[in-house]
Chain A
Amino acid sequence: MPVDYETLAAAGSIMGSGGMIVMDDTACMVDVAKFFMDFCREESCGKCLPCRVGTEEMYRLLDRISSGRAARAHLGQLEKLAAMVKATSLCGLGQGAPNPVFSTLRYFRDEYLAHIDDRVCPAGICQISVEPWRVPVAVPVGAEAPSDGVSQ
Protein backbone atom coordinates (compact mmCIF):
# COMPACT_ATOMS: atom_id res chain seq x y z
CA MET A 1 0.00 0.00 0.00
CA PRO A 2 1.52 3.38 -0.98
CA VAL A 3 1.83 5.77 1.96
CA ASP A 4 -0.03 8.83 0.64
CA TYR A 5 -3.03 10.79 1.87
CA GLU A 6 -5.59 9.42 -0.59
CA THR A 7 -4.71 5.75 -0.13
CA LEU A 8 -4.68 6.00 3.66
CA ALA A 9 -8.01 7.84 3.67
CA ALA A 10 -9.55 5.14 1.45
CA ALA A 11 -8.35 2.50 3.93
CA GLY A 12 -10.07 4.38 6.79
CA SER A 13 -6.85 5.75 8.26
CA ILE A 14 -5.08 9.11 8.36
CA MET A 15 -1.51 10.27 7.82
CA GLY A 16 -1.32 12.00 11.20
CA SER A 17 2.32 12.72 12.00
CA GLY A 18 3.44 9.90 9.72
CA GLY A 19 3.76 7.35 12.52
CA MET A 20 2.89 3.72 11.95
CA ILE A 21 1.97 0.98 14.41
CA VAL A 22 2.66 -2.61 13.35
CA MET A 23 0.56 -5.36 14.93
CA ASP A 24 0.55 -9.10 14.33
CA ASP A 25 -2.26 -11.64 14.73
CA THR A 26 -1.85 -11.74 18.53
CA ALA A 27 -3.48 -8.28 18.87
CA CYS A 28 -7.17 -8.09 19.83
CA MET A 29 -8.92 -5.59 17.58
CA VAL A 30 -11.55 -4.67 20.18
CA ASP A 31 -8.72 -3.94 22.60
CA VAL A 32 -6.95 -1.86 19.95
CA ALA A 33 -10.09 0.21 19.30
CA LYS A 34 -10.52 0.66 23.06
CA PHE A 35 -6.90 1.80 23.39
CA PHE A 36 -7.36 4.52 20.77
CA MET A 37 -10.69 5.62 22.25
CA ASP A 38 -9.05 5.90 25.67
CA PHE A 39 -6.51 8.25 24.10
CA CYS A 40 -9.22 10.37 22.45
CA ARG A 41 -11.40 10.74 25.55
CA GLU A 42 -8.25 11.79 27.44
CA GLU A 43 -7.33 14.34 24.77
CA SER A 44 -10.82 15.77 24.20
CA CYS A 45 -10.82 19.44 25.19
CA GLY A 46 -14.50 19.33 26.15
CA LYS A 47 -15.71 22.32 24.14
CA CYS A 48 -18.12 20.48 21.85
CA LEU A 49 -20.57 17.92 23.16
CA PRO A 50 -20.19 14.99 20.69
CA CYS A 51 -16.46 14.64 21.32
CA ARG A 52 -16.63 15.37 25.06
CA VAL A 53 -19.36 12.88 25.93
CA GLY A 54 -19.33 10.74 22.78
CA THR A 55 -15.74 9.53 23.19
CA GLU A 56 -16.42 8.68 26.84
CA GLU A 57 -19.60 6.76 25.95
CA MET A 58 -17.89 4.93 23.08
CA TYR A 59 -15.04 3.99 25.44
CA ARG A 60 -17.54 2.55 27.92
CA LEU A 61 -19.29 0.59 25.16
CA LEU A 62 -15.95 -0.81 23.95
CA ASP A 63 -15.06 -1.70 27.54
CA ARG A 64 -18.39 -3.50 27.83
CA ILE A 65 -17.75 -5.48 24.66
CA SER A 66 -14.14 -6.35 25.52
CA SER A 67 -15.13 -7.61 28.96
CA GLY A 68 -17.88 -9.83 27.60
CA ARG A 69 -20.75 -7.81 29.10
CA ALA A 70 -22.35 -6.67 25.86
CA ALA A 71 -25.32 -7.63 23.74
CA ARG A 72 -25.56 -7.05 19.99
CA ALA A 73 -27.66 -3.99 20.81
CA HIS A 74 -24.57 -2.39 22.35
CA LEU A 75 -22.68 -2.89 19.08
CA GLY A 76 -25.55 -1.13 17.30
CA GLN A 77 -25.35 1.74 19.80
CA LEU A 78 -21.59 1.98 19.23
CA GLU A 79 -21.94 2.18 15.45
CA LYS A 80 -24.74 4.75 15.65
CA LEU A 81 -22.83 6.92 18.12
CA ALA A 82 -19.58 6.64 16.14
CA ALA A 83 -21.31 7.96 13.00
CA MET A 84 -22.86 10.84 14.96
CA VAL A 85 -19.58 11.87 16.64
CA LYS A 86 -17.72 11.75 13.31
CA ALA A 87 -20.30 13.91 11.56
CA THR A 88 -21.00 16.51 14.26
CA SER A 89 -17.74 17.09 16.18
CA LEU A 90 -16.20 20.53 15.94
CA CYS A 91 -12.57 19.63 15.23
CA GLY A 92 -10.41 16.86 13.80
CA LEU A 93 -10.00 15.07 17.13
CA GLY A 94 -13.68 14.25 17.48
CA GLN A 95 -14.15 13.73 13.74
CA GLY A 96 -11.30 11.22 13.72
CA ALA A 97 -11.97 9.54 17.08
CA PRO A 98 -14.46 6.95 15.69
CA ASN A 99 -12.11 5.89 12.83
CA PRO A 100 -10.47 2.97 14.71
CA VAL A 101 -13.97 1.71 15.58
CA PHE A 102 -15.05 1.84 11.93
CA SER A 103 -11.93 0.23 10.49
CA THR A 104 -11.73 -2.56 13.10
CA LEU A 105 -15.42 -3.26 12.55
CA ARG A 106 -14.95 -3.27 8.80
CA TYR A 107 -12.10 -5.79 8.80
CA PHE A 108 -12.52 -7.65 12.11
CA ARG A 109 -16.24 -7.68 12.91
CA ASP A 110 -15.96 -11.39 13.77
CA GLU A 111 -13.70 -10.49 16.71
CA TYR A 112 -16.36 -8.13 18.10
CA LEU A 113 -19.02 -10.84 17.69
CA ALA A 114 -16.81 -13.41 19.46
CA HIS A 115 -16.64 -11.09 22.50
CA ILE A 116 -20.40 -10.49 22.39
CA ASP A 117 -21.95 -13.84 21.43
CA ASP A 118 -19.38 -16.30 22.77
CA ARG A 119 -17.85 -14.10 25.49
CA VAL A 120 -14.43 -15.09 24.21
CA CYS A 121 -11.44 -12.95 23.27
CA PRO A 122 -9.92 -14.82 20.29
CA ALA A 123 -6.50 -13.24 20.92
CA GLY A 124 -6.63 -13.97 24.63
CA ILE A 125 -5.95 -10.32 25.50
CA CYS A 126 -9.23 -9.12 27.04
CA GLN A 127 -10.28 -9.99 30.58
CA ILE A 128 -13.72 -11.55 30.19
CA SER A 129 -15.99 -10.83 33.16
CA VAL A 130 -16.65 -13.91 35.34
CA GLU A 131 -20.28 -12.99 35.89
CA PRO A 132 -22.53 -14.23 33.11
CA TRP A 133 -23.96 -11.28 31.24
CA ARG A 134 -27.52 -11.23 30.00
CA VAL A 135 -29.69 -8.26 29.12
CA PRO A 136 -33.40 -7.86 29.77
CA VAL A 137 -35.17 -7.90 26.46
CA ALA A 138 -37.83 -5.37 25.42
CA VAL A 139 -40.74 -7.05 23.69
CA PRO A 140 -43.31 -5.17 21.57
CA VAL A 141 -46.85 -5.27 22.88
CA GLY A 142 -48.58 -8.43 21.67
CA ALA A 143 -45.37 -10.30 20.84
CA GLU A 144 -44.33 -13.36 22.81
CA ALA A 145 -41.64 -12.80 25.44
CA PRO A 146 -38.78 -15.28 25.90
CA SER A 147 -39.63 -17.73 28.68
CA ASP A 148 -36.99 -16.38 31.09
CA GLY A 149 -37.54 -12.72 30.15
CA VAL A 150 -33.91 -12.24 29.13
CA SER A 151 -31.88 -12.80 26.02
CA GLN A 152 -28.22 -13.60 25.50
Chain B
Amino acid sequence: MSEVRTLVIDGKDVAATSDQSVLSAAKENGIRIPTLCHLDGLSDVGACRLCMVEVDGSPKLFPACATKVEEAMVVRTTSERLAEYRKTVIELFFVERNHVCAVCVANNNCELQEQARSLGLTHFDLAGLHPSIAVDASHERFVLDQNRCILCTRCVRVCDEIEGAHTWDIQGRGVNARLVSDLGTPWGSSTTCTSCGKCVQVCPTGALFEKGRSVAEPKARRPYLPYLVEKQRLGHD
Protein backbone atom coordinates (compact mmCIF):
# COMPACT_ATOMS: atom_id res chain seq x y z
CA MET B 1 0.00 0.00 0.00
CA SER B 2 1.31 3.42 -0.87
CA GLU B 3 1.10 6.15 1.74
CA VAL B 4 0.94 9.91 1.47
CA ARG B 5 4.21 11.80 1.79
CA THR B 6 4.59 15.55 2.12
CA LEU B 7 7.72 17.29 0.97
CA VAL B 8 8.99 20.62 -0.31
CA ILE B 9 10.13 21.07 -3.91
CA ASP B 10 11.56 24.48 -4.83
CA GLY B 11 9.85 26.05 -1.81
CA LYS B 12 6.48 24.61 -2.74
CA ASP B 13 4.65 22.24 -0.36
CA VAL B 14 3.87 19.07 -2.26
CA ALA B 15 1.91 15.91 -1.45
CA ALA B 16 2.73 12.64 -3.17
CA THR B 17 2.37 8.91 -2.65
CA SER B 18 5.31 6.95 -1.26
CA ASP B 19 5.89 5.04 -4.52
CA GLN B 20 6.21 8.24 -6.57
CA SER B 21 9.54 9.59 -7.78
CA VAL B 22 10.65 13.14 -7.06
CA LEU B 23 10.38 13.77 -10.81
CA SER B 24 6.75 12.65 -10.99
CA ALA B 25 5.80 14.65 -7.87
CA ALA B 26 7.46 17.74 -9.35
CA LYS B 27 5.74 17.28 -12.69
CA GLU B 28 2.31 16.96 -11.06
CA ASN B 29 2.93 20.29 -9.36
CA GLY B 30 4.03 22.12 -12.45
CA ILE B 31 7.75 22.04 -11.67
CA ARG B 32 9.74 21.13 -14.74
CA ILE B 33 12.96 19.12 -14.36
CA PRO B 34 14.90 18.46 -17.59
CA THR B 35 15.10 14.76 -18.56
CA LEU B 36 16.33 12.63 -21.46
CA CYS B 37 16.37 8.93 -20.60
CA HIS B 38 13.08 9.15 -18.67
CA LEU B 39 9.81 8.48 -20.49
CA ASP B 40 6.46 8.32 -18.69
CA GLY B 41 5.24 4.72 -18.64
CA LEU B 42 8.67 3.08 -18.87
CA SER B 43 10.88 2.00 -15.98
CA ASP B 44 13.59 4.45 -14.93
CA VAL B 45 17.30 3.76 -15.30
CA GLY B 46 18.85 7.05 -14.14
CA ALA B 47 21.40 6.91 -16.95
CA CYS B 48 21.48 10.43 -18.41
CA ARG B 49 21.99 12.27 -15.09
CA LEU B 50 20.21 15.33 -16.44
CA CYS B 51 17.48 15.32 -13.76
CA MET B 52 19.93 15.53 -10.84
CA VAL B 53 18.52 17.58 -7.94
CA GLU B 54 19.79 18.80 -4.58
CA VAL B 55 18.29 17.44 -1.36
CA ASP B 56 18.76 19.30 1.93
CA GLY B 57 20.97 17.49 4.40
CA SER B 58 23.03 15.62 1.80
CA PRO B 59 26.11 16.82 -0.09
CA LYS B 60 25.21 14.32 -2.84
CA LEU B 61 22.99 14.96 -5.83
CA PHE B 62 20.05 12.66 -6.58
CA PRO B 63 18.50 11.65 -9.93
CA ALA B 64 14.89 12.86 -9.62
CA CYS B 65 13.59 10.04 -11.86
CA ALA B 66 15.07 7.26 -9.71
CA THR B 67 14.62 8.80 -6.25
CA LYS B 68 11.44 8.06 -4.33
CA VAL B 69 9.80 10.85 -2.36
CA GLU B 70 10.38 10.84 1.38
CA GLU B 71 8.57 12.54 4.23
CA ALA B 72 9.85 16.08 4.96
CA MET B 73 12.30 15.97 2.06
CA VAL B 74 13.45 19.42 0.88
CA VAL B 75 14.35 19.35 -2.82
CA ARG B 76 15.88 22.06 -5.01
CA THR B 77 15.63 21.50 -8.76
CA THR B 78 17.62 24.53 -9.88
CA SER B 79 20.90 26.07 -8.74
CA GLU B 80 23.99 27.51 -10.33
CA ARG B 81 25.82 24.22 -9.83
CA LEU B 82 23.00 22.12 -11.31
CA ALA B 83 22.71 24.43 -14.32
CA GLU B 84 26.43 24.04 -15.00
CA TYR B 85 26.36 20.25 -14.61
CA ARG B 86 23.31 19.96 -16.87
CA LYS B 87 25.05 21.96 -19.57
CA THR B 88 28.05 19.63 -19.30
CA VAL B 89 25.74 16.60 -19.55
CA ILE B 90 24.39 17.88 -22.87
CA GLU B 91 27.88 18.83 -24.07
CA LEU B 92 29.13 15.30 -23.29
CA PHE B 93 26.24 13.79 -25.27
CA PHE B 94 27.11 15.96 -28.27
CA VAL B 95 30.86 15.25 -28.22
CA GLU B 96 30.37 11.51 -27.69
CA ARG B 97 28.89 10.76 -31.11
CA ASN B 98 28.64 12.48 -34.49
CA HIS B 99 25.66 14.78 -34.01
CA VAL B 100 25.19 17.00 -37.04
CA CYS B 101 21.82 18.71 -36.65
CA ALA B 102 21.85 20.26 -40.13
CA VAL B 103 21.63 16.87 -41.85
CA CYS B 104 19.60 15.01 -39.22
CA VAL B 105 16.06 13.68 -39.71
CA ALA B 106 15.25 14.85 -36.19
CA ASN B 107 16.37 18.46 -36.67
CA ASN B 108 13.95 20.74 -34.80
CA ASN B 109 12.21 17.68 -33.41
CA CYS B 110 14.99 16.39 -31.18
CA GLU B 111 15.00 16.27 -27.40
CA LEU B 112 18.79 16.57 -27.21
CA GLN B 113 18.73 19.68 -29.38
CA GLU B 114 15.82 21.08 -27.39
CA GLN B 115 17.65 20.58 -24.08
CA ALA B 116 20.76 22.29 -25.48
CA ARG B 117 18.57 25.18 -26.55
CA SER B 118 16.72 25.57 -23.26
CA LEU B 119 19.88 25.20 -21.16
CA GLY B 120 21.60 27.85 -23.25
CA LEU B 121 24.43 25.69 -24.58
CA THR B 122 26.02 27.70 -27.39
CA HIS B 123 29.35 25.94 -28.02
CA PHE B 124 31.47 22.98 -26.94
CA ASP B 125 34.80 23.26 -25.12
CA LEU B 126 35.52 19.54 -25.04
CA ALA B 127 36.95 17.71 -28.04
CA GLY B 128 34.65 15.45 -30.06
CA LEU B 129 35.38 11.72 -29.85
CA HIS B 130 34.25 11.20 -33.47
CA PRO B 131 33.76 7.43 -33.35
CA SER B 132 33.50 5.62 -36.65
CA ILE B 133 30.12 3.83 -36.57
CA ALA B 134 28.24 2.15 -39.40
CA VAL B 135 24.56 2.82 -40.08
CA ASP B 136 22.24 -0.22 -40.01
CA ALA B 137 19.66 0.20 -42.78
CA SER B 138 18.96 -3.52 -43.18
CA HIS B 139 15.41 -3.30 -41.80
CA GLU B 140 12.65 -2.96 -44.37
CA ARG B 141 11.06 0.15 -42.85
CA PHE B 142 13.45 1.60 -40.26
CA VAL B 143 17.05 2.73 -39.91
CA LEU B 144 19.40 2.68 -36.92
CA ASP B 145 22.02 5.45 -37.06
CA GLN B 146 24.20 5.02 -33.97
CA ASN B 147 25.98 8.28 -34.74
CA ARG B 148 22.94 9.97 -33.17
CA CYS B 149 22.34 7.48 -30.35
CA ILE B 150 22.67 8.78 -26.77
CA LEU B 151 22.25 5.33 -25.16
CA CYS B 152 19.18 6.43 -23.20
CA THR B 153 17.82 2.85 -23.65
CA ARG B 154 14.23 4.03 -24.14
CA CYS B 155 14.06 1.72 -27.18
CA VAL B 156 15.43 -1.19 -25.15
CA ARG B 157 12.84 -0.62 -22.45
CA VAL B 158 9.81 -0.01 -24.69
CA CYS B 159 10.66 -3.14 -26.70
CA ASP B 160 11.02 -5.23 -23.55
CA GLU B 161 8.36 -3.76 -21.27
CA ILE B 162 5.58 -2.79 -23.69
CA GLU B 163 6.05 -4.87 -26.85
CA GLY B 164 7.55 -7.83 -24.99
CA ALA B 165 10.01 -8.66 -27.77
CA HIS B 166 13.29 -7.46 -26.22
CA THR B 167 14.96 -7.15 -29.59
CA TRP B 168 17.24 -4.33 -28.47
CA ASP B 169 20.06 -4.40 -25.97
CA ILE B 170 23.40 -2.78 -25.26
CA GLN B 171 26.67 -4.45 -26.26
CA GLY B 172 30.14 -3.42 -25.14
CA ARG B 173 31.04 -1.10 -22.30
CA GLY B 174 32.29 2.43 -21.69
CA VAL B 175 32.47 4.54 -24.85
CA ASN B 176 32.33 1.30 -26.84
CA ALA B 177 28.75 0.61 -25.74
CA ARG B 178 26.48 0.13 -28.76
CA LEU B 179 22.79 -0.54 -29.29
CA VAL B 180 22.38 -3.99 -30.86
CA SER B 181 19.44 -6.05 -32.10
CA ASP B 182 19.30 -9.77 -31.43
CA LEU B 183 22.74 -10.18 -29.87
CA GLY B 184 24.50 -8.18 -32.56
CA THR B 185 22.94 -9.28 -35.85
CA PRO B 186 21.66 -6.76 -38.44
CA TRP B 187 18.22 -5.37 -37.58
CA GLY B 188 16.79 -6.63 -40.87
CA SER B 189 17.61 -10.24 -40.04
CA SER B 190 16.23 -10.05 -36.50
CA THR B 191 13.90 -12.93 -35.68
CA THR B 192 12.41 -11.26 -32.60
CA CYS B 193 11.60 -7.81 -34.04
CA THR B 194 7.88 -7.44 -34.74
CA SER B 195 8.43 -4.24 -36.78
CA CYS B 196 5.97 -2.46 -34.48
CA GLY B 197 7.98 0.76 -34.59
CA LYS B 198 7.61 1.64 -30.90
CA CYS B 199 11.38 2.13 -30.58
CA VAL B 200 11.33 4.60 -33.46
CA GLN B 201 8.56 6.61 -31.82
CA VAL B 202 10.24 6.86 -28.40
CA CYS B 203 13.75 7.70 -29.66
CA PRO B 204 14.60 11.20 -28.36
CA THR B 205 17.02 11.89 -31.25
CA GLY B 206 17.28 10.78 -34.86
CA ALA B 207 19.05 7.50 -34.06
CA LEU B 208 15.99 5.42 -34.96
CA PHE B 209 13.86 6.69 -37.83
CA GLU B 210 11.53 5.63 -40.60
CA LYS B 211 12.96 5.18 -44.08
CA GLY B 212 12.05 7.74 -46.69
CA ARG B 213 12.02 10.72 -44.36
CA SER B 214 14.12 13.75 -45.21
CA VAL B 215 15.93 16.21 -42.97
CA ALA B 216 13.78 17.72 -40.21
CA GLU B 217 10.62 16.17 -41.68
CA PRO B 218 9.34 13.55 -39.24
CA LYS B 219 7.54 14.44 -36.06
CA ALA B 220 7.52 11.76 -33.39
CA ARG B 221 3.94 10.53 -33.33
CA ARG B 222 4.23 8.33 -30.30
CA PRO B 223 0.94 6.54 -31.07
CA TYR B 224 1.72 4.13 -28.24
CA LEU B 225 1.91 6.79 -25.58
CA PRO B 226 -1.65 6.13 -24.35
CA TYR B 227 -0.51 2.62 -23.41
CA LEU B 228 2.51 4.05 -21.63
CA VAL B 229 0.44 6.55 -19.65
CA GLU B 230 -2.11 3.87 -18.76
CA LYS B 231 0.66 1.55 -17.57
CA GLN B 232 2.13 4.26 -15.40
CA ARG B 233 -1.26 5.03 -13.89
CA LEU B 234 -1.87 1.37 -13.04
CA GLY B 235 1.59 1.18 -11.48
CA HIS B 236 0.62 3.92 -9.04
CA ASP B 237 -2.61 2.38 -7.79
Instruction: Answer yes or no: are A and B bound together in one complex.
Output: yes
A84 to B89 CA separation, bound complex (whole angstroms)? 9
Whether a CB of chain B sits under 8 angstroms from the CB of A56 is yes
A45 to B177 CA separation, bound complex (whole angstroms)? 8
Which B residues lie within 8 Å of A79 (CB)?
A: none
- Among B60, B127, B172, which residue has its beta carbon within 8 angstroms of that of A46? B172
Which A residues lie within 8 Å of B176 (CB)?
A: 46
The SS class assigned to the A binding surface is helix
User: Which residue of A has the minimal Cβ distance to B37?
Assistant: A49
Which B residues lie within 8 Å of A52 (CB)?
A: 96, 151, 174-175, 177
Whether a CB of chain A sits under 8 angstroms from the CB of B46 is yes
- Among B47, B61, B88, which residue has its beta carbon within 8 angstroms of that of A81? B88
User: Which residue of A has the minimal Cβ distance to B172?
Assistant: A46
> Contacts A46-B151, A84-B84, A88-B85: A57 and B47 contacting too (C-beta < 8 A)?
no
B45 and A47 contact, CB distance less than 8 A: yes
User: Which residue of B has the minimal Cβ distance to A44?
Assistant: B174
Which B residues lie within 8 Å of A50 (CB)?
A: 49, 88-89, 92
A49 and B175 contact, CB distance less than 8 A: no
* Least CB distance, A44 to chain B, in whole angstroms: 4
A77 to B172 CA separation, bound complex (whole angstroms)? 28
Which B residues lie within 8 Å of A87 (CB)?
A: 52, 60-61, 81, 85
B61 and A46 contact, CB distance less than 8 A: no
Q: How many residues of B contact A (CB 8 A)?
A: 31
Which A residues lie within 8 Å of B63 (CB)?
A: 90
A73 to B89 CA separation, bound complex (whole angstroms)? 19
Which A residues lie within 8 Å of B61 (CB)?
A: 87-88
- Among B49, B125, B173, which residue has its beta carbon within 8 angstroms of that of A90? B49
Which A residues lie within 8 Å of B150 (CB)?
A: 49
Whether a CB of chain B sits under 8 angstroms from the CB of A89 is yes
Chain A interface size band reads 20 to 34
User: Which residue of A has the minimal Cβ distance to B170?
Assistant: A46
* Least CB distance, B65 to chain A, in whole angstroms: 12
Which B residues lie within 8 Å of A41 (CB)?
A: 174-175
- Among B84, B95, B170, B172, which residue has its beta carbon within 8 angstroms of that of A57? B95
* Least CB distance, A6 to chain B, in whole angstroms: 16
Whether a CB of chain B sits under 8 angstroms from the CB of A117 is no
A53 and B175 contact, CB distance less than 8 A: yes
B47 and A77 contact, CB distance less than 8 A: no
- Among B45, B129, B173, which residue has its beta carbon within 8 angstroms of that of A44? B173
Interface flags for B161-194 (1: CB within 8 Å of A; 0: not) read: 0000000001011111100000000000000000
* Least CB distance, B80 to chain A, in whole angstroms: 13
Which A residues lie within 8 Å of B46 (CB)?
A: 48, 90
Whether a CB of chain B sits under 8 angstroms from the CB of A110 is no
> Contacts A44-B173, A52-B174: A88 and B49 contacting too (C-beta < 8 A)?
yes
User: Which residue of A has the minimal Cβ distance to B175?
Assistant: A56
User: Which residue of A has the minimal Cβ distance to B125?
Assistant: A77
- Most chain A beta-carbon contacts within 10 A, residue among B45, B61, B92, B176: B92
Whether a CB of chain B sits under 8 angstroms from the CB of A106 is no
13 sample A-B contacts, Cβ–Cβ < 8 Å, listed by A number: A47-B45, A48-B47, A49-B48, A49-B89, A49-B92, A52-B96, A52-B151, A53-B93, A53-B175, A56-B129, A57-B95, A80-B84, A90-B46
